[in-house]
Structure 1
Amino acid sequence: MRSVISMLLLSLGLVGCSSNPLSPTGEAVYYALQTDTSLRSWVDACYDVSSETKQQALRTQRNWWKRNGAFVESADFGLAYDIIKVTDDRAETGARMAMALTWQVVETAEQEVNELMTGASDKEDLCLRILERYNEGEMDLRGNEELYQGLVKLQRRSQSQGKDLAMKRASVEKRTKTVYGRSFYVVEKLAKRHGCPGAQVQLLKNDWPHEVYDGRCPDGSYILARCEWGNCLITE
């Protein structure tokens, strides 16, 4: 799966030479987004295991985000800024690269969590041990000094170039008359899981990291999905 990420990042200009598959920026972006998504996957998986894991999941997510949220947002900026550079001339291509990368990050995290949960004889104990590692800072983004410094640089870039990014995005959307959602592929897969294969998915709200989609199922029924940072849930 890492090779897929490398190919996507190469297309986005986040990859270096062949001897170093991911550039420092690409490594930092992937590191932050994957760590954040892994935690969110653990929170989702452990939420309904027991009342104790539910409380721990909510507490852990809140505490981890307080310490690391700014750097996750900086990583997303680094990815989005380079995507916009691609999409200036190839809007659809760049947007689909972004959607595919978001899908791959979520897919990798969910698969890792599902494999561990399936093989666990005591799911409550596993959840509490994993969540405690995140809560106590073992999985903080500061844990890798080199990549952490890359995130610090991205944070500085986001502060100085954030307005420029917003203007470029608006220009692309105005010219192409199309708004693409980063979680499109995630929602398609989620619809299939909920008995709606082949759903016609449409973006209703695009305010990344928050997105809302609806999907028309072959039987004429509809689903509504709400997403946050590429993690999506079907709402009843």
Structure 2
Amino acid sequence: MRLIVTALALLSLVGCASSQLSPTGEAVYYALQTDTSLRSWVDACKDVSPSAKQQALTTQQNWWKRNGAFVESADFGLTHDIITVTDDRAETGARMAMAITWQVVETAEQEVSELMQNSSDKDSLCEGILAQYNDGERDLRGNETLYNSLVGLQRRAQNGADDLKIKQASVQARTGKVYGRSFYVVEKMTKREGCPGAKVQLLKNDWPHEVYDARCPDGSYLLARCEWGNCLIAD
């Protein structure tokens, strides 16, 4: 957890060393966490019933139309500031990004798992939670404290996309290495699949889409496809 706080503290507008996040850092984490929580609810509710599945897919589509630009901007802010801060220390920046992605996914999965396990009526639980997202109760603009930071991130993303690509390409050219944000997530998933100690390798790095290959100690292979840090083992 200390690594997560340190990484977020490196985001823009942070002055001297402090355990408190800047408004920008809070906005980044808030946007990514809210989006990932919805994705976790969608994944869980799709398996509850046909009606829950339909509601989940519709909710995700509607919420993204209203909030997608903020999520993309938050992701830009994270990637841009890590690249800028670490520069030549590309591995440090990559590990920070991986750690933050893992923490966001881990927190969302735990929340959803605990509530689903303790519920005697999963259909009603899904209906209630998904309605909050669909009706705008969990829209990112609803947080008045962080709204201005989210708007600022959106402007930065619009003006700095080309600059970010140039910096990423420069780091990759100097180091000869390509990192995947979802590495820790895939590593954890392989353990769940009965493949501890797997050698995980990035096959496709086109964030937010990534593909990983995991070679198990027994010689078998697993293929993981990821979107925004949410990964699934391919059949």
Alignment TM-score, normalising by the size of structure 2: 0.96
Distance 2:175 2:17 in 1: 34
Counterpart check, 1:6 vs 2:12: no
- Within a 5 Å distance, the mapping from 1:72-221 to structure 2 comes to 72-221=71-220
CA distance in 2, matches of 1:118, 1:16: 42
Deviation at 1:10, TM superposition (A): 2.1
Alignment gaps of 5+ in structure 2: none
The 1:86–1:19 alpha-carbon spacing in structure 2 relative to 1, beyond 3 Å, is closer
Give the Cα–Cα distance (whole angstroms) in 2 for the partners of residues 73 and 190 of structure 1. Answer: 25
Q: Distance in 2 between matches of 1:39 and 1:215?
A: 27
Residue 87 of structure 1: how far off its partner (Å):
3.2
The alignment's C-alpha RMSD in Å is 1.5
- What is the one-letter code of the residue matched to 2:174? R
* One-letter code aligned to 1:140: D
Q: What is the one-letter code of the residue matched to 1:197?
A: P
Please give the per-residue CA displacement for 1:159-183, whole angstroms capped at 9, x wherever unaligned.
1111010000000001100000000
Tell me the residue number matched to 2:224: 225
In structure 1, stretches of 5+ residues that fail to align are none
Hey, what's the Cα distance between the residues in 2 that align with 1:214 and 1:87? 27
Identify the residue that residue 70 of structure 1 maps to in structure 2. Answer: 69
Q: What is the distance in 2 between the residues matched to 1:78 and 1:12?
A: 8
State whether residues 13 and 24 of structure 2, in contact with CA within 8 Å, keep that contact through their aligned partners in structure 1. yes
Cα deviation for residue 156 of structure 1 reads 0.6
Conservation of the 8 A alpha-carbon contact between 1:87 and 1:172: no
Q: d(CA) in 2 for partners of 1:16 and 1:74?
A: 22
Amino acid at match of 2:87: D
**Offset at 1:17?**
5.8
Q: Which amino acid aligns with 1:55?
A: Q
Contact 1:9–1:15 (8 Å) recurs in 2? no
Percent sequence identity over matched residues?
Answer: 76
Q: Secondary structure at the match of 1:173?
A: helix
Counterpart residue number, 2:28: 29
What is the CA-CA distance between 1:145 and the residue it aligns to? Answer: 1.8
Q: Distance in 2 between matches of 1:206 and 1:228?
A: 11
Q: TM-score, normalised by structure 1?
A: 0.95
- The worse-fitting range, judged by mean Cα deviation, of 87-96 and 65-74 is 87-96
- How many angstroms does 1:4 deviate by? 5.5
Code of the aligned partner of 1:51: P
Counterpart-to-counterpart distance in 2, 1:223 and 1:32: 30
Which residue of structure 1 aligns with residue 55 of structure 2?
56
